């Protein structure tokens, strides 16, 4: 059984349609009492959520600041590569959540299709990473820098199967019962 703490930073990555949203909704979010979803695609309407009007990281920053000031909450960022892109500094409140959120019991789930395009601080400070099917050499080469298994094997994962990576170990996980 996967032990997730309320203050953990979590990355969920993989191609579209492989099971990321299902894992988040059915496997992760039920563990949280307080949560808020930054939801550009309107996929989380059953949860407290906000559908942004733009792809601006500053729109996410406004939400993150409220959560930072509130304490005791999980922030889910869907399509995170758009709002927390590689080679850009994290907005201040997002950085505080990622780097020091545990001191305020604030967690983060970053959901991304392209792990190589996600800000390296977000991925690098995640206590858990749930990795669904990838086939792009850019993404698999990036993952091979961290994973103890060859990420090229991810191209053969069936939908809803994933790897759970934490503390230097990879576990292959079957789909959640839905």
DSSP string for residues in 90-150? PPHHHHHHHHHGGGGTEEEEEEES-GGGB-HHHHHT-SEEEE-----HHHHHHHHTT-SS-
Does pLDDT of 54 surpass 70?
yes
Give residue-wise pLDDT tens across range 16-52.
999 999 999 999 999 899 999 999 999 999 999 999 9
Separation of alpha carbons 90 and 121, rounded Å:
8
Mean pLDDT of the chain: 95
- If phi over 0 gives left and psi between -120 and 50 gives alpha, with beta otherwise, what is residue 62? alpha
As given in the structure block, the two tokens for residue 157 are 């994962």
DSSP assignment of 56-98? -HHHHHHHHHHHHHH-SEEEEETTHHHHSBTTSPPPHHHHHHH
Output the pTM of the full model: 0.95
pLDDT score recorded for residue 177: 73
Q: pLDDT tens, 130-177?
A: 999 999 999 999 999 999 899 999 999 999 999 999 989 999 999 987
pLDDT given for residue 3 in this prediction:
87
Residues 110-131 have pLDDT tens digits of 999 999 999 999 999 999 999 9
Percent of the residues in the chain that have a pLDDT greater than 70, as a whole number: 99
**H or E stretch covering 22:** helix 20-22
- Checking if the pLDDT of 57 tops 80, the result is yes
């Amino acid at each position: 059984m996967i032990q997730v703490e309320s203050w953990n930073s979590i990355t969920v990555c993989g191609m579209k349609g492989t099971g990321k949203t299902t894992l988040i909704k059915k496997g992760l979010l039920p563990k949280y009492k307080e949560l808020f979803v930054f939801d550009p695609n309107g996929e989380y309407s059953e949860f407290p959520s906000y559908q942004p009007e733009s792809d601006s990281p500053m729109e996410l920053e406004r939400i993150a600041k409220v959560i930072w000031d509130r304490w005791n909450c999980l922030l889910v960022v869907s399509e995170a590569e758009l709002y927390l892109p590689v080679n850009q500094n994290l907005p201040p409140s997002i950085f505080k959540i990622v780097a020091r959120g545990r001191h305020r019991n604030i967690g983060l789930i970053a959901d991304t299709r392209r792990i190589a395009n996600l800000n390296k601080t977000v991925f690098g400070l995640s206590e858990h990473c749930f990795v669904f099917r990838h086939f792009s050499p850019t993404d698999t080469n990036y993952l091979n820098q961290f994973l103890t298994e060859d990420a090229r094997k991810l191209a053969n994962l069936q939908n809803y199967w994933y790897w759970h990576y934490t503390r230097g170990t990879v576990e292959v996980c079957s789909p959640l019962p839905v």
